[in-house]
Chain A
Amino acid sequence: MKANCWHGKHDMRVQDVPDPKILSSRDAIVKITSTAICGSDLHLYNGFIPTMEKGDILGHEFMGEIVEVGKDVHNIKVGDRVVVPFPIACGACGACRAQAYSLCENSNPNAWMAEKFMGYSPAGLFGYSHMLGGFAGGQAEYARVPFADVGPLKVPDGLSDDKVLFLSDILPTGYMGAEMCDIKPGDTIAVWGCGPVGQFAIASAKLLGAERVIAIDRVPERLAMAEQRAGATDVINYEEQEVLAALKDMTGGVGPDGCIDAVGTEAHMPGPMYGYDRMKQALMLETDRAFALRQAIRACRNGGTVSVIGVYGGFIDKFPMGSLMNRSLTLRSGQCHVHRYLKPLLERIEKGDIDPSFVISHHLNLDDAPQGYDMFLHKADACTKVVLTTA
């Protein structure tokens, strides 16, 4: 089959690789129809995530048709159309029983690697480094899905791929980001980053009852999308406006009730501090540039909540712990427990509460995946989201 393989920094290649096979009785094989490039794939593309090997198949947002199931998979059958959640979860361990699926205690066979970096290991993920399992990803024609009796969601034929594909990751991730803010009617929520996850965090904050949602980015098209499509009430271009002052002004000097970091490890910032952190990163004195997170903490109102859904890999410095502690802030975070949100969000899509396809800017063939990465990285041609199809 064809698959999009990582070969190093800024080196993706579509190659012929062996077809996946069932390895365990709870596996299924999915023939992929649509698969997307995620902003977090760019962290791999830029070489910021350790434990990658040449030849790794990337991709963790995918859907398609079941073509083979192991003998212990009974809830889905050959021919079913499914969306696959990006975390792999066994459904039986303590974490899965508590619905914390992205913390599955069994799905990462390389847990010992993650433990060296992080203390304990989270769940295994599709196509996201060896320390998170070394599972082949979904930017391919076929994928093996472990624990297929737990993860894949059957989707009705009436809904197009574009409408349901993002249930695999970015829609639930944005939704969880908003949910973690415990939004009450009348709340103001600020969202750093208007990439696809940020767009869905904005839309979700509205769905959950926020009165004002303030979108922060520097790309005019993305800010326009936040306002026109996701439902942001206000926008801030952080290269033109001073974010803290603007937020203070917009909220009557109080600050937003909830702040969502939908940026993560490769944040940008105008001014000399950006150069300083870039340099530290290059010298391996820190692994992540946390401008958005630092700002979100300082901007949040006293007693408010900072919700982190942008991906971080390792260590940051200049973390404003004093601001967090003295002002009684709550910091929440996590890789999305996708399984928990699949059915409720599918219902929202069916009811027409949200049509996630608005973030798509480009459809490409799987063969053109490397160009897709390059375009997405440079936000060329107003690229916000690339969907790869195998047809």
Chain B
Amino acid sequence: MDTVQHSSLHASRSPPPPSRQRTHASAPHQSPAGAIRKIGVHKVARGLAWFSVGVGIAEILFPRTLAKMIGTPTASTTLLRIFGLREIAAGALIFNPGRLRATGMWARVVGDAADLSSLAAAYGCPNTTNRRALTAATAGVVALTALDVVCAREVSKEAGLMAESGALRVTKTITINRSPGEVYEFWRNLENLPRFMYHVEEVHVISPQRSRWTVKAPAGGTVHWNADITAEVPGEMLGWRTTNDADVENSGTVRFEPGTGGRGTVVRVDLEYRPPGHMAGAALAMMFNRSPHQQVEDDLRRLKQFLETGDLVRSDASPEGTGRVAQRPAQPSAVRQFY
């Protein structure tokens, strides 16, 4: 079996999977995302950051005036001031590059949702004096929300947190003091994967191309999917994609590159997945749940331990080895749980 994706192998570290590309990728200037890209994602994001800071300062200093402007003179000034702090915090994050900028942009989206629900509540409030002003304010926030969502997505793509398709993306890398052939062999025997991927309960190999996965779900219980090997260059790379009935749709590549200066193998994982709940799920995952990133990072570290030392490394405080669970005190445990 040889490669299916020759063209993408050497082109870039993270080729977007072809089938997921949307229309805006082929006609970038006709979509809102294309327009933002044309102006420059960084410029638009910085513009929104300044806007955030400006609105935040206004909300903190002149809450009463602002409340009158949106037609709700009796609105809580405390609430407006809290919203102001939120705006400034989001703005401050957006001035940073990368992950922090994406976090700040999604914080703006969540903030927009909070603004909209407060405005909606104001419609039902007897103290609302000027419905026309309230409607204008609501329309403004709706428009801003649309811009924030599009910009948040573009910023997330630039930070490597979102794939071109809109799926969430995780990229991680580690260097292992073994040859690319050895690391590849270990990985290609897919039933080895649960040995270092703690969230994977079982991989059952159905055929050379297809495997059945049982994976722990964050809230307890398990999720399942079938995955097909979609690309394979022995000793160099593997690509996979789940079949249509997957609980969590995912795809990606893992590459095994010779390290410079005889440093063994550089393993690069580039995966994308669609959490249930789509946009809201994605926004929440971006803001609060780093766990897929941590999970892959921990997986790769355990793979390295396994291949270099022959076992996982355990301490008294972390008897299960690398992982982000609560620490025990650093003293021997009374129960022999492992080995």
Using a CB–CB cutoff of 8 Å, the interface residues on chain A facing chain B are 3, 5, 17-26, 53-57, 72, 90, 92-94, 97, 105-112, 124, 127, 130, 133-137, 144, 146-147
Contact = CB atoms under 8 A, between A and B. Distances in A.
Given A94-B175, A110-B322, A53 B308 contact: no
A56 B332 contact: no
Interface residues of B, number: 37
Contacts of A93: 177, 304, 308-309
Contact of B332 (A21, A107, A124, A130): A21
Contact of A25 (B175, B311, B324, B336): B311
B339 A24 contact: yes
Contacts, number: 125
B269 to A, nearest CB: 16
B140 interface: no
A124 B315 contact: yes
Nearest to A25: B311
A106 B313 contact: yes
Contact of B318 (A25, A72, A109): A109
B317 to A, nearest CB: 2
B177 A134 contact: no
Given A94-B177, A109-B318, A133-B317, A26 B310 contact: yes
A3 B332 CA distance: 10
B329 interface: yes
Contacts of B315: 109-110, 124, 133-136, 146
Contacts of B185: none
Contact of A56 (B294, B331, B334): B331
A56 B330 contact: yes
Interface string B297-321: 1100100110011111111111101
A109 B330 contact: no
B263 interface: yes
A192 to B, nearest CB: 31
Contact of A127 (B322, B323, B330, B339): B330
A53 B329 contact: yes
Contacts of A72: 310
B308 A109 contact: no
A136 B331 contact: yes
Given A133-B315, A135-B317, A146-B313, A90 B298 contact: no
A208 B308 CA distance: 36
B317 A134 contact: yes
Nearest to B302: A109
Contacts of A109: 312-315, 318, 321-323
Contacts of A3: 331
Given A110-B322, A135-B315, A57 B304 contact: no
